[in-house]
Amino acid sequence: MKMRKSLTAPLLAGLCAVLAVMALSPATAGGRRDEQDAARRAMLDGQVMPFSMIKRRVDAQVGGATYVGSEFNPSTNRYRLKYVKDGKVMWVDADGRTGDIIGWAR
């Protein structure tokens, strides 16, 4: 009987952890999908340049920093690209229409 009780608590804790992750995942994935859909629609409508072109332009200006990810703001048609260099994070804001860098944050 003792052995059954000692196995029940860890199994229950593990199940709770899995359920918590599953509950959070769809919301996160859905938000990212909406952002990607908005960026694609803006590009197809001619409101922004293709992301690959914007990223190439920014990559050329960040001095060999490693690209980590990006966000798209559909209300402003701006991209925020995240880079890491020498252990420091830097954010670069780019105008989606022109590909020009419009701001830096470290």
Q: Is 50 left (phi over 0), alpha (psi -120 to 50) or beta?
A: beta
User: What is the pTM (predicted TM-score) of this model?
Assistant: 0.67
Phi, psi of 102 (to 5 degrees): -115, -5
In 45-78, alpha helices (H)? 51-59
Checking if the pLDDT of 4 tops 80, the result is: no
What's the Cα-to-Cα distance from 50 to each of 29, 39, 42, 76, 105, rounded to whole Å?
22, 9, 9, 16, 23
CB atoms within 10 A of CB 27: 9
The pLDDT > 90 percentage for the chain reads: 58
Model confidence band, residue 11 (pLDDT cutoffs 50, 70, 90): very low
Q: Over the stretch 52-94, which tens digit does the pLDDT of each residue have?
A: 999 999 999 999 999 999 999 999 999 999 999 999 999 999 9
pLDDT of residue 32: 73
Checking if the pLDDT of 50 tops 80, the result is: yes
Checking if the pLDDT of 31 tops 90, the result is: no
Asked whether the CA dihedral 58, 59, 65, 68 is positive or negative, the reply is positive
**CB-based contact 92:103 (threshold 8 Å):** yes
